[in-house]
Structure 1
Amino acid sequence: MQPVFFALLSRMQNVHRWNKSNPTRAENVAEHSFQVALFAHALGVIRNQVFTDKPPLDENKLAVMALFHDAPEVLTEDVNSGIKYSAPRMLELCREMEGIASELLIGTIPPSLQASYRPLIGHEEEGEMARFVKASDLLSAYTKALAELRAGNTEFEGTERKVLAALQPYIETLPEVAWFMANFVPAFHMTIDDLVEAAFEPS
Structure 2
Amino acid sequence: MQPVFFALMSRMQNVHRWGKSNPTRAENVAEHSFQVAMFAHALGEVRNRVFVDEPKVDANHLAVVALFHDAPEVLTEDVNSGIKYSDKRMLALCRQMEAIASHMLISTLPEPLQQSYQGLIEHEDSPEVARFVKAADLLSAYTKAVQELRAGNMEFEGTERKVMAALQPFIDSMPEVAWFMEHCVPAFHMTIDDLVDAALVSDKE
Equivalent AA in structure 2 for residue 22 of structure 1: N
TM-score, normalisation: structure 1: 0.98
State the match for 1:38 in structure 2. Answer: 38
Aligned residue runs from structure 1 range 32-111, under 5 A: 32-111=32-111
Aligned residue runs from structure 1 range 24-35, under 5 A: 24-35=24-35
TM-score, normalisation: structure 2: 0.97
State the match for 1:185 in structure 2. Answer: 185
C-alpha separation in 2, matches of 1:54 and 1:116: 29
Equivalent AA in structure 1 for residue 4 of structure 2: V
Q: Does the 8 Å CA contact 1:5/1:105 hold for their aligned counterparts? A: yes
C-alpha separation in 1, matches of 2:138 and 2:125: 17
Change (3 A) 1:156 1:124: farther
State the match for 1:149 in structure 2. Answer: 149
State the match for 1:138 in structure 2. Answer: 138
Cα RMSD (Å): 0.8
Equivalent AA in structure 2 for residue 63 of structure 1: A
Aligned residue runs from structure 1 range 159-178, under 5 A: 159-178=159-178
Q: Unmatched 5+ residue regions in structure 2? A: none
- Matched pairs, number: 203
C-alpha separation in 1, matches of 2:190 and 2:124: 34
Equivalent AA in structure 1 for residue 131 of structure 2: R
How far 1:90 sits from its partner (Å)? 0.4
How far 1:28 sits from its partner (Å)? 0.1
Equivalent AA in structure 2 for residue 83 of structure 1: I
How far 1:163 sits from its partner (Å)? 0.3
C-alpha separation in 1, matches of 2:199 and 2:154: 29
Residues 34-93 of structure 1: per-residue CA shift (max 9 Å, x gap): 000000000000011001101110000000000000000000000000000111110000
State the match for 1:2 in structure 2. Answer: 2
Q: Unmatched 5+ residue regions in structure 1? A: none
Equivalent AA in structure 2 for residue 85 of structure 1: Y
Equivalent AA in structure 1 for residue 121 of structure 2: I
Equivalent AA in structure 2 for residue 161 of structure 1: R
How far 1:125 sits from its partner (Å)? 1.8
Of 156-165 and 125-134, more deviation after overlay is shown by 125-134
Q: Does the 8 Å CA contact 1:124/1:130 hold for their aligned counterparts? A: no
C-alpha separation in 2, matches of 1:43 and 1:13: 25
State the match for 1:115 in structure 2. Answer: 115
How far 1:2 sits from its partner (Å)? 2.3
How far 1:199 sits from its partner (Å)? 1.4
How far 1:124 sits from its partner (Å)? 4.0
In the TM superposition, structure 1's runs of 4+ consecutive aligned residues that sit over 4 Å from their partners are none
Q: Does the 8 Å CA contact 2:69/2:123 hold for their aligned counterparts? A: no
| Fraction of identical pairs, as percent | 76
How far 1:123 sits from its partner (Å)? 2.5
C-alpha separation in 2, matches of 1:30 and 1:140: 13
State the match for 1:127 in structure 2. Answer: 127
